[in-house]
Structure 1
C-alpha cells in the first residue's frame, strides 16, 4: 500500500525502509497512470506558465556568458580573420540559431509539453525513445564536463583566499589528469549544486535573472582591467600569420567556423521545448529568445579584447577564462588582484552552474522522466543527472579521450535533422495541429502509433540527414582519408543535416500520408482534440490522465483561449 499522505518526512522514511514492498511503493509516483503519463509529462497547467518574455531574454542573455562563448573567437582569429570579421561570423550564426530556436519552441509554448512528448508525434510512441535516450546520454557527459569546469573556478577562488593553495602537495599522479586542488574544487562544486536540484524548471528562471546581471558586470570588469593595464586593446597582438591560401579554401574555412558555432548551439536548439513549454504565452518565447542569443556577441567581444590585451602584455594568449585568471595570479598575487580574480572566478563558477542546469540537467531530467515515468519526475531526474555526472570522473574524458571529444564536437550532424524533422512535421505536415490525447495513447489504434510504434518516415529522414555529411565526419578523426568535397560538406554538417533531414521527411509525408491526415486539413493551429482527458483517467472533470489539476478549470479554459488554443475541459 502507498504511504499515507499526512505522514511527516521522518515517518515517510521509516515507512519506505520498513520492507522492500513499502520502498517500492514509496518511490512510485502516484501521478504515473501509464508508461506515457506522469505529472511532468502531461501538458503544464496554467500555474506553471511562469516564463515571461523577460525570463527568456534573461536566460539567453545570461547563457551567452560562459567559458565557450568567451573563447569563441580564438579559432576564427587563428584563420587570419580580423577581430571585426570574426565577430560578424559569430553574430550571424547566433542570429540563425535564434530563429531556429524560436520555431522549435513554438509547438511547446502552445501545447505546454516538452521535447519527449512532442517527439512521440514525430517519431512514434515507441520510436521516440531512441531520440530521448541519446539526448539523455549527452546530458550526463556534458553535465560532468561543466561540473569539472565549475570545479576549476572554485579552485581559483580558493587560491585567492589561501596563498599556499597553488603550492599544496599534489599526491594524485599526473596520468590521472587532475590535481588535488581541482579535485577539491570539483567536490565542492558538486555539493554547491545540490540545492539547485530541488528547483523545478518552472522556477529556475530566477537563477538566470540573477546571472544576467552578475556575469556582464564580471566580464566588464575583466575587460576594463585588461585594457587599462595594457594601455589599449592592441588588436594586432592576436593577429595570427597564416599561409596564403586560395579564396575557396579560405571561404570554406570560414564556413567551417560558422558551422562550429551552429554546432555549439545545437544542444540548445534541441533542448528549447523543455523551457518553452512553461511560456506564459507563445509570444513570450518568441520575443525573448529571438533577442537573447544574438546579444552573446558582447561576451565574444570581451573575450577577444581581453585576450589581445593580455597577449600584448605577457606574450601569451589566454583564451579560456580559467587560464586567464590563473595567469593573472601568476603575474601578480597582490590583495587587489586576488579580490578581482575572486569576484571573476565566483561569477564564472555561477555562470557554469547555470549553463549546466539549462543545457544538460534539465533536458536529462525531462528525458529520464519520459523513460521511467513511474519513478522519475523533473526533480528526481535532476538529482540523478548530477550524481551520475559526478561519478563519471569527467576529467578522464577531457584528458584521455581526444577521439571521443572529436565525436562529441561533430555530433551536431545528428541533431540538425532531428530538429528539422520535428519542425516540418509540425508546421507543414500537421499545419500546427497536434492531437494531445493521442500523444498519451500507446495502443495500436493510436494516431501516433504508426508501424509497430515507429514512424518509419522520420527514421529514414533522420538517416538521410546525417548520411550526407557522414563521410567528412569520419575523415575528421584522421584515421581515414576522404575527398576534399566530403570534408567541405562536413564543414556544413549541421546545415546539411538540417536541410536534407527536413526535406526528405516532407517528401515522404507527401507520398506516404501520415495517419490522422484529416488533422492536416483543419485550420492552421486549431486544437485537434477538445478534451484534455487522457487515456487511463477515471474522471474527466478536472484531471489529466487521472492526475488532479491545480487551479480552476474555467481559468484554464480562459488562459488557453487567450492564446488562440481552443480547449474545452469536460
Structure 2
C-alpha cells in the first residue's frame, strides 16, 4: 500500500468514526414516558472496550498527576514555608488518593461511569443536579487548562521568534486582563484540541503514555534550573507575612491551604469512575491509584515547592507559576542555548497540560452531558460543546494571584466533598457493593430500586444540604462577601468539613429512616451482584440463533444482558 493510499485509508476510517460517534444510539433506557434514559455512552462499558490494564492506569496517573507544580508552589505564594508546604503536599495527596481509590471501586466492578453511579446514589432525577455541578466545574477547568497551555505556548513562540513576537502590538483593553499575544496562543492551542474531540477514552492510552514520558523533562528540568540558580539555597521556612496571614494564625493558614489543595483535585476524585470503567480487571485501578497519589505524584508538588522557594531565596520574588519562571529565565539569559532549552521544556509542559485536560476535564464533561440529555448528546457531542464553552469562560481572571488561585480551588470544594462521601457511604455501607444495573435505566415508578421518592433520594439530599449549608458562609466569604472571623474559618475547613459532614449525616439518616432500596440490599453479601451483572457478553448482531433475546446496542456490537432477576 502506498503512502497516499495509507493516508486516504486512515482519513476514511477517521471520518467514519466521527460520523459514528456523533450519532446517538438508543441504549437500554426505558422511554415509556417519552424520555430516553440512556445511549451508547451511558450503558455499561462493553467487554471489547475494557482494555486498560494496571500499567495503563499507572502511566495514566503518572502522566496526569505529575503536573502539580502550581498546587505546591502556590502554597509558598500565600506565605507558608517550604517544609510546611511539603508536609501539606503529602498529607493532601494521600487523603486524595485513598478517597479516589475508594470511589473507583464501583465503576471498575460494574463498568459504569460517574453519571450512572450517581443515579444509583441520588436517584434517576436527583442525579441530574450532581452531574450538572460537576459538568460546570469540568467546563471551567477545561478553559483554565487551555489557558495554562497557552501560557507555555507563549514561551515557545518567544523562544522561536524573539523580539518580533514580543513586539506584537496589544489591541486588547487592559481591563480584559489578557493580551493580543495571549489570545493568539489561546486560539492556536484551542485548535490543536479539535482532532481529539473525536476519540474515545479507550483509544487514548498512547496519548496518556506519551504524557507520562513528557512529565519528567518538564517538571525535573524546571526544578534543576531553580535549584542551580540559587546554588541550593531555599527560602525561610516561616510565614512571610502576606495580607492573608496578617489576620489569621499559621495553623489556620495550613488548614486553608490543605482544604484548597484537595479541592484542586475534588472534581477528579468524583470523576474517576469515567476512567475506571475501562478497566480490564477490577484490580487494575486501585493499586496504581494509591501508589501514584500517595508516593509519586506528591513529588511534583514538592519539586514546585522547592523550586519556588529557591527562586524566592535568590530573587525575593514568589514565582509560583511555571510559565513565569520560564519568562524569568529568558529575561536573564537571552542566548540561543537557553532559548532552545526553554523551548523544549515549555513544549513538554504544553503537552503535559494538554493530555491532563483531555483526561480530567473533557472526558468527564462529555460523560456528564450525555446523561443530562441522552437523547441528543453523546460524549463526542459533549466534547464539542465544552470546546466552544472555553471561549465563554475567562480563565485568565483566575490566575491573577496565588491567593485568587487557592480561593477559586477552595470555594467549590464544599459542593464536591459531600457528593463523594455520600456516594462512598451508599456503596460501601448501605448497598454493600451491590448495584442493580438494569434499574439505572428505568426512568419511572416501575423502577424497583432507584426511583426512590419521585426520582429523588431524599435522604441523600438531606445530608448534602446539611453539609453544604454548614459551609456556605465560608463559600460566601471566598467569593467576596464580608463575614465574621468564625465564618471565615469555616471556609478554611471547606472540603474536609463538607466531606465528613455529608457522609456522617447520610449514614445516620439511613439508620433512622432508610431509603426504599435499602431493603433490596439488606440480605445481600458484599458485591454479590457483581457476578450476576457480569452475565453480559458480546454477540454477533447477525447471529440468527439469538433472535428474540433482549439486546442493548453499543456501537457496532450488541450486548445481550440477562435480566431474569427483574
Give TM class, smaller chain: 0.7 to 0.9
Q: Could you say which residue in structure 2 is the equivalent of 1:561?
A: none
Asked if structure 1 preserves the Cα contact closer than 8 Å seen for 2:22 and 2:380, the reply is: no
Q: CA-to-partner distance for each residue in 1:292-324, whole Å, 9 max, x for gaps?
A: 123122212222332233344444332101111
Q: Does 1:29 align with 2:39?
A: no
- Between the aligned partners of 1:398 and 1:488, the Cα distance in structure 2 is 23
Is the 2:148–2:353 Cα contact (8 Å) retained in structure 1?
yes
Structure 1 position 350, deviation (Å)? 0.9
Stretches of structure 2 that go unaligned for 5 or more consecutive residues are 1-10, 30-35
Q: Tell me the residue number matched to 2:552.
A: 545
Partner residue in 1 for 2:371: 370
Q: Secondary structure at the match of 2:515?
A: coil
> 1:199 aligned to 2:206?
no
Q: How many residues align?
A: 533
Aligned mates of 1:176, 1:474 — CA distance in 2: 25
Counterpart in 2 of 1:99? 98
User: Conserved in 1, the CA contact under 8 Å of 2:142 and 2:362?
Assistant: yes
Instruction: State the alpha-carbon separation in 2 of the partners of residues 62 and 132 from structure 1.
Output: 26
Task: Give the match's secondary structure for 2:456.
Answer: coil
Q: Does the Cα contact within 8 Å between 2:260 and 2:409 map onto a contact in 1? A: no
Aligned to 1:520: 522
Query: 1:125-204 maps to which residues of 2 (within 5 A)?
Result: 125-163=124-162, 164-204=164-204
Measured against aligned partners, the alpha-carbon deviations of 1:547-567 in whole angstroms (never above 9, x if no partner) come to 5773897xx99xxxxxxxxx9
Query: Where do 1:314-329 residues align within 5 Å?
Result: 314-329=315-330
CA distance in 1, matches of 2:173, 2:559: 61
| Shift of residue 133, structure 1, vs aligned partner | 1.1
What whole-Å deviation, never above 9, does each CA across 1:466-504 have from its counterpart, x for those lacking one? 1222223323345322243x3333322211111111111
1:108 matched to 2:110? The reply is no
Partner of 1:383: 384
Partner of 1:121, secondary structure, is: helix
Contact 1:71 1:320 in 2 (8 A): no
Q: Is the 8 A contact 2:76 2:320 kept in 1?
A: no
Report if the CA contact (8 A) 2:551-2:558 is conserved.
no
- Within-5 A mapping of 1:143-292: 143-163=142-162, 164-230=164-230, 232-236=231-235, 241-242=240-241, 249-292=249-292
Over the aligned positions, Cα root-mean-square deviation in angstroms equals 3.5
Look up the match of 2:454.
452
Instruction: Give the whole-Å Cα distance in 1 for the aligned partners of 2:126 and 2:279.
Output: 27
* 2:86 aligned partner: 87
Q: Match of 1:466?
A: 468
Deviations 1:32-72 (A, max 9, x none): 46421211111111111122222222222222233x53452
Mark the CA change 1:285 to 1:71 in structure 2 (over 3 Å): closer, same or farther. closer
| 1:372 CA drift (Å) | 1.9
**Contact residue 104 and residue 273 of structure 2 kept, 8 A:** yes
- 1:269, 1:119 → 2: CA distance? 14
Q: CA shift at 1:523, angstroms?
A: 1.1
CA 172–493 in structure 1, closer or farther in 2 if over 3 Å, else same: closer
Shift of 1:204: 2.1
Task: Give me the whole-angstrom Cα distance separating, in 2, the residues matched to 1:388 and 1:96.
Answer: 32
TM score, norm. by length of structure 2: 0.85
Give the Cα separation in 1 of the matches to 2:416 and 2:443.
26
Shift, 1:141, TM fit: 1.7
Question: What is the TM-score of this pair, normalised by structure 1?
Answer: 0.85
Q: For residues 308 and 528 of structure 1, what CA distance do their matches in structure 2 show? A: 50
Structure 1 alignment gaps of length 5 or more: 1-8, 14-22, 558-566
Please identify, of 195-204 and 266-275, the stretch whose mean Cα deviation from structure 2 is larger.
Answer: 195-204
